[in-house]
Structure 1
């Protein structure tokens, strides 16, 4: 049976990169739990046979820098571990030396404070976190669908995020520019943090873009 790869992303910018994975379908969650579940339902309707959670992640391990490619073998969700599909991980490049493996933590909210990131690392041992992969893991376990996670670290464990990071996305996965401008007008002190985050995001985007272009993933599936 020919594989049909479905890809779940949080943002439309991630969706542009995901097109190089040669997927059957790409859906954006808008970085919300409800949006992710609806997106996963749409992928199932598209008759995908496996699902990849793809995009950016926050670093928890203090040794991991922005731009590090992650292919976690375990997703930690509310005290339960979900194991990603080994064959799918190999197809994504898990055996490459520069890929970081380990456990990924699911979070229902954006973690903005570096102190909290470091506390989560100490408590869970997870190397990074995101807001979609845990939902993908639970959904795929319930529906008996193989899944994997391909992410890149956008903000390191030492990076504090500006408040507007919590309102940056609209429900369709695009940047909510109006809300961001309002937040900056009310709190212009965020600008320095936003610039630093922008530099890290540029590094992360460039590294993930390079990885998926050179990998030619799923081209022959």
Structure 2
């Protein structure tokens, strides 16, 4: 696949800034390299699916979920890198393109902590240690985010190679307070007026904001190192779609059948 066009889906502007410095709105395609395109979908599965559809309509050949994740394992700390072998969503697992995943893992510097395993989907940010432990028990995952599994489902549906590259932003013992969501836009930027109001009311402390900021700094440093090491093409030119994991295709067929049976409007829209 020497002529592959890589499609990268990120949720947050802070994640996308590891790939390019220019800012751009949600659901617009950015050309960040000759054969690489980026689309910002905002937080959540709906935005991730829409961004994936937009990239596919543009003509991308492979998909990457790129960003941060929450730790479900107490061994993981901010800045650790999760290169999952599978994603978990709706009671089933979808494997990534393992050959591609292994190639990237082998390229990374030894000082980065890199783990595999399963990356779970979550419908909303996990806001406590108890929630994270429960999610880990239910899914068998070491980390979770709100977008990767949805992108993986879409990739399987369209028979596209897929990997997820996710850096830990918050450890098991520390989670962003739910009240902070009121002060954050879908792309992760902050509504300053609401944030000041939350601080004045002491609903969130400056210490909490400091911890969140340090976690994001560590995660972004790792993501930037991955980009620096692999390049903006992420070595996708060596990924042969004809060797796609058979389980991906099998799960993709199940996904299409289930979505068709449920008359999912989003999937119908994506086929137009």
TM over 0.5: yes
Match of 2:159 among 133, 139, 144: 144
Match of 2:4 in 1: 3
TM-score, structure 1 length as denominator? Answer: 0.89
Match of 1:106 in 2: 121
Match of 2:199 among 170, 177, 184: 184
Match of 2:268 in 1: none
Q: Does 1:79 find its partner at 2:94?
A: no
- Partners of 1:50 and 1:147 within 8 A in 2: yes
Match of 1:17 in 2: 18
Partner deviation per Cα, 1:45-81 (whole Å, 9 max, x = no partner): 2210010000000000111111001100110001110
Which portions of structure 1, spanning 4 or more consecutive aligned residues, are displaced by more than 4 angstroms? 19-23, 94-97
Match of 2:52 in 1: 40
Question: What stretches of structure 1 of length at least 5 have no aligned partner?
Answer: none
Report deviation, 1:28.
1.1
Report deviation, 1:103.
0.4
Alignment root-mean-square deviation, CA:
2.3
Structure exhibiting the larger radius of gyration computed from Cα positions: 2
Instruction: State how far apart, in whole Å, the 1-side matches of 2:211 and 2:119 are.
Output: 24
Instruction: State how far apart, in whole Å, the 1-side matches of 2:183 and 2:62 are.
Output: 29
- Partners of 1:7 and 1:18 within 8 A in 2: no
Match of 2:101 among 81, 89, 114: 89
Partner deviation per Cα, 1:176-205 (whole Å, 9 max, x = no partner): 434333333333443322211212211121
- Partners of 2:82 and 2:166 within 8 A in 1: yes
User: Would you say how many aligned residue pairs link Structure 1 and Structure 2?
Assistant: 221
TM-score, structure 2 length as denominator? Answer: 0.73
Report deviation, 1:95.
6.8
Instruction: State how far apart, in whole Å, the 2-side matches of 1:168 and 1:28 are.
Output: 19
Distance change in 2, residues 1:88/1:19 (3 Å)? farther
DSSP 3-state at the match of 1:152: strand
Match of 2:178 in 1: 163
- Partners of 1:25 and 1:46 within 8 A in 2: no
Instruction: State how far apart, in whole Å, the 2-side matches of 1:173 and 1:159 are.
Output: 18
